[in-house]
Chains A and B, each alone.
Chain A
Amino acid sequence: MKDAKVIELEEVAIRFSGDSGDGMQLTGTLFSDATALIGNDISTFPDYPSEIRAPQGTVGGVSGFQVQFGQKQVTTPGDYAHVLVAMNPAAVKANARFMNAGGTIIYDSDSFTEKNLNKAGFKTDDPFSECNLDDYRKIAVPVTSMTRESLKDFGLDNKSILRSKNMFALGLVCWMFNRPLEYIEEFIRNKFAKKPVVVDSNIKVLHAGYNYGMNMQHMTPTYMVHPAEIEQGTYRNVNGNYATAWGFIAAAEKAGLELFLGSYPITPATDILSALSERKDLGVKTFQAEDEIAGITSAIGAAFAGDLAITTTSGPGLALKSEAIGLAVMAELPIVIVNVQRGGPSTGLPTKTEQSDLMQALYGRNGESPVVILAASSPSDCFFYAFKAAKIALERMVPVILLTDGFLGNGSEPWKIPKMEELPPITPRIAKDADAFKAYKRDENLLARDWAFPGMAGFEHRIGGLEKNIAGTVSHDPENHQMNCQIREDKVQKVVDLVPDLEVCGDDDGDVLVVGWGGTYGHLISTVRELRKEGKNVSLAHFNYIKPLPKNTEEVFRKFKKIIVCELNLGQFASYLRDKMPGFEYHQINKVKGLPFTVNELKEGIYKLLEE
């Protein structure tokens, strides 16, 4: 018997894949958490269908979870997987194109029956050849029968037994990557605390998988990935939606206000509503409204009455909220609207990621209706941008749209936990002098009005969607309307003094500046790093502030020969830059497939530009 083959890698990507009922999301999450706990940096990407249970065994029903981890900073879940765990033939078919050349495929040989091959649309009994996977290392593991065998004394019915299959796969992968099982066991014990038999059976199968790897090591390679060099501190894993929710709770605590969320469930934003609903202990008020419109209008009511008020949604929901955002613009109330972008238009690709709502956020309302727009760029920095969005709204009495996306919302990464004392203060503009108060009297410099809400004696006033004069009286005066339209726009532009300068990753000047915004940061920074390693003169300027743009934007752009704007749409940010930062030629790399960029395709696009 040969020794086990040990493959040492700087980073490795694993893709867990099976039927949407196979528990692949949980398997992937547990493996990721266990991996982060032993000190690797990670990045994850759940990729699942919008049908809760599409027909079993079909390609449409395949649910995947990819995690990349490494000993250096990991900024993407990996273009291609080194290891694919496939619970059925459909998973092989759906994921063949996501495989790293020469990678390893571990598959449940029990499920590769004629029936399942047919369901997955294979024409022969050799699915791997059909998918051009001949050169790959394939490891057939009888997952189903081994699971059944290890649970034969538990007296469980067949369905319950099959439900533990994923634990066998997880145990096997843990052995291959040398992950301890304690964290996963602890999780199982907590999750099924009231069902001891489920705890015991799952842990049994988990160990069976682990031991299987050990016993079969002549055929199973093991991988070594050393812990990452990352900053000291206390860490946790967090996904973008939870980070967003927590950022708002932090902002409310910092501002000394109560937090109100009005929201209607919509993929992929719903987790923010769930995460905030869990926090009654911190006094968070969540209101699951009857529709998207009531979600935002209840938030506007709460803002009128003195809460930090937010609403959360995804693209189609933002469309429904448009009119109400206009009301918040006109009433000059502090609210934050979160759009976890997904593939559009219309219902589009509900579970897939995209950046195609930028124009909607900027312009998708009637009238001159300016709002501040921020975009988060990694799962964990959703926390900071949610906090910052709230700070801007409260200090400048202006609606703020925060753009994240499905990739950030569902993806997770380790996060060095910040302390509240490290966060900047938030000072809401609460009115103080009742005698001098007028609804639309403004700070001369900031152009922000003061905030007085019901319950404050002497501040009784009226606001609304109609154009007003300073006192808050309805006014149809033409000069007044033009002046106010200008003021509302200028007020948004004045927020620039809360916007940090744009940083360049790489050199301050050079041949190519890669420009991106929002959730593509991880792929763009990886791309730029790799290109620089190859000696290419390429730098990155990544935007988190869309409106207003950072003060030094033009200055940064001027120092590069070529600018290439990369985004997951047909060129919306590029168009915006052409309008707001004219005088440059903006090249574009665009992708609208419902998927994140891959580092390889970005590199190819930039090579081309370098050759021109």
Chain B
Amino acid sequence: MTDFNYTIKDFKSENEVRWCPGCGDYAIMNAVQRTMAGMGLPKEKFAVISGIGCSSRFPYYMNTFGFHTIHGRAAAVASGVKLANPSLSVWVITGDGDAMAIGGNHFIHTIRRNIDLNVILFNNRIYGLTKGQYSPTSDRGFKSKTSPYGTIEDPFVPGQLVIGSRGTFYARGIDTNLKLSESIFQAAAEHKGTSVVEVLQNCVIYNNGVHNEITSPEHRADRQLILEHGKPMLFGAENEKGIIMEKGRLKVAWIGENGITEDDVLVHDAHEPDPTLHMALINMSLPEFPVAFGVIRSVQAPVYDIEMENQIEQVQKSRKITSVDELLSSGNTWEVTGNGNGNGSPKDCPGKEIK
């Protein structure tokens, strides 16, 4: 599909990458660059917009158009970019503090409007750039510099906010799983509308190992459910476990036990408009359940930027006013002529003429 023969190098800028050694951000950027190289779009069509936080340095490292904005506002800036030029591929780079706290309002409204943006939410459950304060995704009781006795508040689950905002695309990935990330980013880029990809990302300095329970190699098979549209929800080293529906609730079952066969296992339907099951998959957490990854929801709905262009086109089809001159002389106007009341001079000073 690519006409440009780009490689990942074409998307790396001359700037030295300054994330901490071992930071999960490196792997995520690699996956994004690979995805972009393969999209068949000319490089100048990409715009990468970020807020504030470690991950938000991302645009500087990309050899595309980039804008490192202010805390929490990336989604709103990106909305303006996309509406100014809907032919662009616009990517939003944000973190759990940027998108869930200070930028929460823009996050939910962007999703509600379904503007065609690809939002990558780096979730390390900590404020890294300000050196280690708890974030809106930190677990209750989490100890940090600003919660030395543990937090007394519950975290946001980003996917719940996406569903609650009528999101059309939500996926979850892991920084270290490059292959999974790349396939998710591709799907996000292809999706028309706001695509939100939450990537569980490790902060080696302030929250090292925060996702280890889920991501460590010895537990990976049992604690991760990688969803694929149209495939049964199986997991475990030998795919010996599956997700079934029992009395209206999800449940983990062993294939072959209690008469459970593979036919009883739910088949993932990312395109189902009803978000009930998607929400249940988002809510699955340890220890009762594995954590769901992959594209959890991808449905079609009207896209803001397309609708905006359509509306302008529709109105223009039957328009009576085609220029500013016509606009200014539309409606009630009257002529002042030289019949005794029109011989005055222009309204006097200051001069109305623009100089």
* Interface membership of A418, Cβ < 8 A: yes
Q: Are A381 and B352 in contact (CB under 8 A)?
A: yes
Docked-complex contact A287 and B323, CB < 8 angstroms: no
Chain B residues with CB under 8 A of A237: 332
Contact status A253-B351, CB under 8 Å: no
Which one, B64, B351, B355, contacts A460 given CB within 8 A? Answer: B64
Contact between chains at B81 and A305 (CB < 8 Å): yes
Q: Is A358 an interface residue (CB 8 A)?
A: no
- Bound Cα distance A61, B347 (Å): 37
Partner of B83, one of A249, A285, A300, A419: A285
Is B80 interfacial (CB 8 A cutoff)? Answer: yes
> Which one of A91-99, A275-283, A530-538 is at the interface?
A275-283
Q: Is B341 on the interface with A (CB-CB < 8 A)?
A: yes
Tell me if A298 is interfacial: C-beta within 8 Å of chain B: yes
B80-A464 in contact (CB<8A): no
Q: Is there an interface contact between A290 and B84, defined as CB atoms closer than 8 Å?
A: no
Is residue B76 within 8 Å, beta carbon to beta carbon, of the partner chain?
yes
Cα A484 to Cα B143 in complex, Å, equals 41
Q: Say if the beta carbon of A542 comes within 8 Å of chain B.
A: yes
Q: Measured between alpha carbons, how far is A388 from B77 in the docked complex, in Å?
A: 25
B341 touches A228 (CB 8 A): yes
Q: Is A582 an interface residue (CB 8 A)?
A: no
Contact among A253, A285, A544 with B324 in the assembled complex (CB-CB below 8 Å): A253
In the complex, how many residues of chain A place their beta carbon closer than 8 angstroms to a beta carbon of chain B?
A: 89
The interface bits of chain A over 66-94 (1 if a CB of B lies within 8 angstroms of the residue's CB, else 0) are: 00000001000000000000000000000
With A235-B336, A305-B84 given, is the CB distance from A229 to B308 under 8 Å?
no
CB-based contact B60/A453 at 8 Å: no
Q: By the criterion CB–CB under 8 Å, are A294 and B327 in contact?
A: no
Q: What is the CB-to-nearest-CB distance from A38 to chain B, in angstroms, rounded to a whole number?
A: 8
Q: Which of B87, B321, B324, B343 contacts A455 (CB 8 A)?
A: B87
| Residue A46, interface by CB 8 Å | no
Contact B334 A384 (CB under 8 A): no
In the assembled complex, the Cα of A250 lies from the Cα of B326 at a distance in Å of: 11
A302 adjacent to B80 (CB under 8 Å): yes
Q: Is B235 an interface residue (CB 8 A)?
A: no
For A326, list chain B residues within 8 Å (CB).
70
Nearest-Cβ distance from residue A74 to partner chain B, whole angstroms: 10
Could you tell me the distance between the alpha carbons of A235 and B49 in the complex, rounded to whole angstroms? 46
Residue in B49, B67, B81, B327 whose beta carbon sits within 8 Å of that of A279 in the complex: B327
Contacts of B82 in A (CB 8 A): 301, 305
Cβ-closest chain B residue relative to A280 = B315
**Are A454 and B332 in contact (CB-based, < 8 A)?**
no
Does B5 make an interface contact (CB < 8 A)? Answer: no
Q: Is A33 an interface residue when CB atoms closer than 8 A count as contact? A: yes
Q: Are A249 and B44 in contact (CB under 8 A)?
A: no
A324 with B85: CB separation less than 8 A: no
Bound Cα distance A228, B344 (Å): 8
Is residue B348 within 8 Å, beta carbon to beta carbon, of the partner chain?
yes
Kindly provide the distance from the CB of B325 to the nearest chain A CB, expressed in whole angstroms: 5
Bound CA span A297–B65, Å? 17
Contact check, B332 vs A455: say whether CB atoms are below 8 A apart. no
Do B79 and A454 touch across chains, with their CB atoms under 8 A apart?
no
Instruction: Judge if B322 is at the interface, Cβ distance under 8 Å.
Output: yes
> Chain A, 534-566, contact with B by CB distance < 8 Å: what is the 0/1 string?
000000001010000000000000000000000
Beta-carbon contact of B320 and A418 below 8 Å:
no
Per the bound structure, the CA–CA distance linking A309 and B67 in Å amounts to 16
B40 in the interface, Cβ–Cβ < 8 Å?
no
Known: A280-B311, A283-B316, A298-B77. A460 touches B43 (CB 8 A): yes
Complex contact B83–A302 (CB within 8 A): yes
| Binary B-proximity of A361-398 (CB < 8 A = 1, otherwise 0) | 00000000000000001000100100110000000000
Cβ–Cβ contact B343 & A457, under 8 A: no
Q: Looking at A234, A289, A290, A384, which has the most chain B CB atoms within 10 Å of its CB?
A: A290
In the complex with contacts A297-B69, A301-B80, A454-B47, A503-B335 CB distance below 8 A = no
B321 touches A232 (CB 8 A): no
* Minimal beta-carbon separation of A500 from chain B (angstroms): 4
B267 on the A face (CB < 8 A): no
Please tell me if B333 contacts chain A, counting CB pairs below 8 Å: yes
Residue of B nearest to A285 (CB): B83
A572 in the interface (beta carbon within 8 A):
no
Instruction: Say if the beta carbon of B242 comes within 8 Å of chain A.
Output: no
Known: A297-B77, A388-B354, A500-B351. A246 touches B324 (CB 8 A): yes
B 1-39 to A, binary, CB cutoff 8 A, 1 in contact else 0: 000000000000101000000000000000000000000
Within 8 Å CB of A423, what residues of B? Answer: 354
Measured CA separation A459–B66 after assembly (Å): 11
Q: How many angstroms from the CA of A544 to the CA of B349 in the assembled complex?
A: 12
In the complex, what residues of A have CB within 8 A of residue B44's CB? 454-460
A298–B70 touching, CB < 8 Å = no
- A463 near B: Cβ within 8 Å? yes
**Are A287 and B80 in touch, CB under 8 angstroms?**
yes
Q: Which residues of B contact A462 (CB under 8 A)?
A: 13, 15, 59-60, 62, 65-68
Cα A301 to Cα B67 with chains together (Å): 9
Is A424 located at the chain interface by the 8 A CB criterion? yes
A233 interface contact, C-beta 8 A: yes
- A485 CB to closest chain B CB (Å) equals 18
By secondary structure, the A interface counts as mixed
B333 adjacent to A455 (CB under 8 Å): no
Taking CB atoms, residues of chain B closer than 8 Å to A474 are 15, 60
**B contact residues around A505 at 8 Å (CB):** 348-350
Shortest beta-carbon distance, A452 to chain B, in Å?
A: 8
In angstroms, how far is the closest chain A Cβ from the Cβ of B11?
10
Inter-subunit contact A417/B329 (CB<8 Å): yes
- B contact residues around A250 at 8 Å (CB): 324
Question: Whole-angstrom distance between the alpha carbons of A260 and B79 in the complex?
Answer: 11
Q: Determine if A464 and B65 form an interchain contact, defined as CB atoms under 8 angstroms apart.
A: no
Tell me whether B214 is interfacial, beta carbon within 8 Å: no
Provide the residues of chain B in CB contact with A466, threshold 8 Å. Answer: 68
B319 at the interface (CB under 8 A from A): yes
Interface residues of A in 316-332 (CB under 8 A from B): 323-324, 326-327, 331
Best-buried of B73, B331, B343 by chain A (most CB within 10 Å) = B73
* A293 CB-CB contact with B under 8 Å: yes
Among A231, A324, A454, A466, max chain B CB count under 10 A is at: A454
User: Chain A residues with Cβ under 8 A from B87's Cβ?
Assistant: 455
Q: B326: shortest Cβ distance to chain A, in Å?
A: 9
Q: Are A297 and B341 in contact (CB under 8 A)?
A: no
Q: Is A291 an interface residue (CB 8 A)?
A: yes
Contact of B84 among A73, A306, A420, A459 (CB under 8 A): A306
Residue B105 interfacial (CB < 8 Å): yes
Min C-beta distance of B282 to chain A, whole Å: 23
Contact A302 B84 (CB under 8 A): yes
**A442 on the B face (CB < 8 A):** no
Question: In the complex, which residue of chain A has the Cβ closest to the Cβ of B347?
Answer: A73
- Asked if A260 contacts B84 (CB within 8 A), the reply is yes
Asked if B80 and A420 make an inter-chain contact with CB atoms under 8 angstroms apart, the answer reads: no
A39-B341 CB under 8 A given contacts A234-B335, A260-B80, A462-B66: yes
| Cβ-based interface call for B178 (8 A) | no
Determine whether B191 belongs to the interface, using a CB cutoff of 8 Å to chain A: no
Asked if A327 and B355 make an inter-chain contact with CB atoms under 8 angstroms apart, the answer reads: no
A sample of 25 cross-chain residue pairs with beta-carbon separation below 8 angstroms, ordered by A number, consists of A37-B332, A228-B344, A234-B329, A234-B333, A236-B329, A246-B324, A260-B84, A279-B321, A280-B315, A282-B321, A294-B79, A298-B77, A301-B79, A305-B80, A305-B81, A326-B70, A327-B69, A327-B70, A377-B350, A417-B328, A419-B325, A462-B65, A462-B68, A464-B59, A466-B68
Beyond contacts A302-B80, A307-B85: 11 other A-B pairs, Cβ-Cβ < 8 A, are A229-B343, A253-B323, A279-B327, A294-B79, A387-B354, A420-B323, A462-B60, A462-B66, A463-B68, A465-B70, A503-B349
Which A-B residue pairs are the 6 nearest by beta carbons?
Answer: A301-B80, A464-B68, A229-B344, A298-B80, A305-B84, A281-B319
